[in-house]
Structure 1
Amino acid sequence: MKPADIFLAVLVAVIWGLGFVASRLALDELPPTLMTTLRFAIAAVPCLFVRKPDVSWPLLIAISATLFLGQFLAQAFGIAHGVPVGLASVIVQSQALFTVAFAVVAFGEVPTRAQIIGIGIAAVGLLMICGTVGYDFSVGAFAVLMISPVVFAIGNLLLRRARDVPMFDLFAWLCLASAVPLSALTLMTDGAQPAWHALLNMSPTGVASILAIGAVSTSIAYWLWGRLLRDHTAAQVVPFALLVPFVGAAASSIAFGERFGPLRLAGMITVVCGIAIMLLSKRPPAVPAAA
């Protein structure tokens, strides 16, 4: 990778890590459904200028419902109900574990020995984190947050079917496909009057946070990530995502004074190590078919 591309990959990881902090700030003023709706409504603005990519509506909606709507709504609910931001950033990255596991079922992809070891190590880390649940946040909040990496992984596999389309256009329309049902959900769960009242009473910090989440963390960062994946192999790009939980945890520690007990910290490090083994392991070269 060129130095400029390495810089972009690191920049995206930093943006996503800081995005967890921005989400927490926005959730201090907005309910989870409204915050997530605004996130995608802002990120969907480019749909006014770009045409829908050549992807069927059923596939577009399926990718949007998992990769975006399900992932980020579960994140918002988990963080809003007390899951620490740094811990949330680690749990979400466990999507790598579920992606490899689901690929075995969906595509018959046999993981390498190193990937199996990585899955085992990451699973042990998640169990260690589970041992700390119930002290500063509820089991229910943790269960809802665990939905995020699971649907994230499903979205990753569905995204494979959207080939040869402009990434920026695709992500913009995925955001639109998430914003529409989320708007209806917000009206049903929060009510029009309370939602409007929350919007009118947002502080400058809240407004800046939601703009950063929608325009930068969702629209720009995903576009840059898509470009990197288009120009380079996944093995070159995806490992940079390992920086996300470190940035998220460090930023949360600075912004909110978040601290981790020995068991939780050990679990978080174990999860990241397991993910690193999975992402950095090399697949054996495919055996060419006989003539």
Structure 2
Amino acid sequence: MPLRSALAAVLVAIIWGLNFVVIDVGLEGMPPTLFLALRFAVVIVPAIFFVPRPKSRFRDVVLIGSFMSLGQFGLLYTALAIGMPAGLASLVLQAQVVLTVVFAALALRETPTRSQVIGVAIGALGLIVVGSGRGAETPALAFFVTIAAASSWAIGNVIARRIGRSGMTSTPLAGLSLTVWSALVVPLPMLALAFALHGSDAVGFALTHLTVPQLLSTGYTAWLASLVGYGIWNTLLARHPASAVVPFTMLVPPIGMTTAWLVLGEIPTIVELGGGVMLLLGVAITTGVLGSGRRRRLRS
């Protein structure tokens, strides 16, 4: 991957690492479904009036939005709202890296190598350790909902890669275009769900009593995490193999957990940290980070 693309991927990792704490702060006093609807409404307006429609099939755009935006964040916001610590969520969500390789093998017929199989096994074991050793303040349901969010993201990664193969890179704004237009599938279903779960009075009160942290969180998640982050991410996935792009998300947990510690006072248990190291080791092996390093040393 060219240096410019690598630096762009690092920038995305930093933005997303900070994003977990930003979301957690914004969820205070706000139903997660309504907060997600608000975020993606801001993503869409006014960008949709200036960003051209993707040249991909509309069905593919809807699929991207359904899994990478609606599914991933609907589940993540729910997990955070029911007790998932923001820092731990940033770690568990990276199971999407291992899951991306698995789903890509199934959907795109990318046969996994021996090292990838080993990496998937180690990453899965690490995830089990994190789950079994989680602190008492982390509900089991919140943990499994976060894994479901990671699965949805992984499916979105594979779909984005397949779209890239069919010509998504035909314009420089292709990644941003896909991000904006795929966001159309989020606000109305989430708003309807907010009304169904919380009632019109609660929804109306939340919208008319927005706090400064909620407004700042909405701006950050919509403009930085979504428009900038996913605009870059989708473009990178379209231009480079998923195995070259996805490993950069390994930077997200250290950033997310450090930010959660400094801002929210979250301190992971020793078992959670140990399982997290195993998970990230599995990610590194699965995506070839460690193997490529050994090959470079042998050549030098």
Normalising by structure 2, report the TM-score.
0.87
- In structure 1, give the amino acid aligned to 2:215: V
Gaps of at least 5 residues in structure 1 are 284-291
* 1: CA distance, partners of 2:144 / 2:182: 25
Aligned residues: 283
> Quick check: 2:129–2:275 contact (8 Å CA) kept in 1?
yes
Q: Tell me, yes or no, if structure 1 residue 189 matches structure 2 residue 197.
A: yes
2:271 aligns with one of 246, 263, 266: 263
* 2: CA distance, partners of 1:29 / 1:187: 16
* 1: CA distance, partners of 2:154 / 2:245: 17
Q: Tell me, yes or no, if structure 1 residue 274 matches structure 2 residue 282.
A: yes
Deviation at 1:252, TM superposition (A): 0.4
Deviation at 1:190, TM superposition (A): 2.3
* 1: CA distance, partners of 2:80 / 2:10: 24
1:164 aligns with one of 164, 167, 192: 167
Going from structure 1 to structure 2, the CA distance change for 1:99 and 1:206 (only over 3 Å counts) comes to same
Deviation at 1:191, TM superposition (A): 2.4
Between stretches 237-246 and 3-12, larger displacement belongs to: 3-12
Between stretches 2-11 and 44-53, larger displacement belongs to: 2-11
Matched ranges for 1:1-291 at <5 A: 4-45=4-45, 46-133=47-134, 135-162=136-163, 163-165=166-168, 166-230=174-238, 232-281=240-289
Deviation at 1:5, TM superposition (A): 4.1
Secondary structure at the aligned position of 1:30 is classed as coil
> Quick check: 2:129–2:271 contact (8 Å CA) kept in 1?
yes
Secondary structure at the aligned position of 2:186 is classed as helix
Secondary structure at the aligned position of 1:160 is classed as helix
Going from structure 1 to structure 2, the CA distance change for 1:93 and 1:63 (only over 3 Å counts) comes to same
- In structure 2, give the amino acid aligned to 1:10: V
- In structure 2, give the amino acid aligned to 1:164: G
Between stretches 184-193 and 13-22, larger displacement belongs to: 184-193
Deviation at 1:124, TM superposition (A): 1.0
> Quick check: 1:47–1:176 contact (8 Å CA) kept in 2?
no
Between stretches 135-144 and 241-250, larger displacement belongs to: 135-144
Going from structure 1 to structure 2, the CA distance change for 1:146 and 1:2 (only over 3 Å counts) comes to closer
> Quick check: 1:29–1:206 contact (8 Å CA) kept in 2?
no
Deviations 1:68-118 (A, max 9, x none): 101011111111111111111111111111122222322332211111111
- In structure 1, give the amino acid aligned to 2:137: D
Deviation at 1:234, TM superposition (A): 4.3
* 1: CA distance, partners of 2:97 / 2:6: 21
Secondary structure at the aligned position of 1:246 is classed as helix
Deviation at 1:133, TM superposition (A): 4.3
Gaps of at least 5 residues in structure 2 are 169-173, 293-300
Deviations 1:215-264 (A, max 9, x none): 11111111122344455554543322110111101100101111111111
Going from structure 1 to structure 2, the CA distance change for 1:120 and 1:233 (only over 3 Å counts) comes to closer
* 2: CA distance, partners of 1:48 / 1:145: 33
* 1: CA distance, partners of 2:261 / 2:121: 28
- In structure 2, give the amino acid aligned to 1:199: L
* 2: CA distance, partners of 1:150 / 1:243: 19
> Quick check: 1:79–1:85 contact (8 Å CA) kept in 2?
yes
Secondary structure at the aligned position of 1:135 is classed as coil
- In structure 2, give the amino acid aligned to 1:19: N
RMSD: 2.0
Going from structure 1 to structure 2, the CA distance change for 1:2 and 1:55 (only over 3 Å counts) comes to closer
> Quick check: 2:244–2:287 contact (8 Å CA) kept in 1?
no
Deviation at 1:136, TM superposition (A): 1.1
* 2: CA distance, partners of 1:106 / 1:2: 27
Secondary structure at the aligned position of 2:287 is classed as helix
Deviations 1:110-133 (A, max 9, x none): 211111111111111111112124
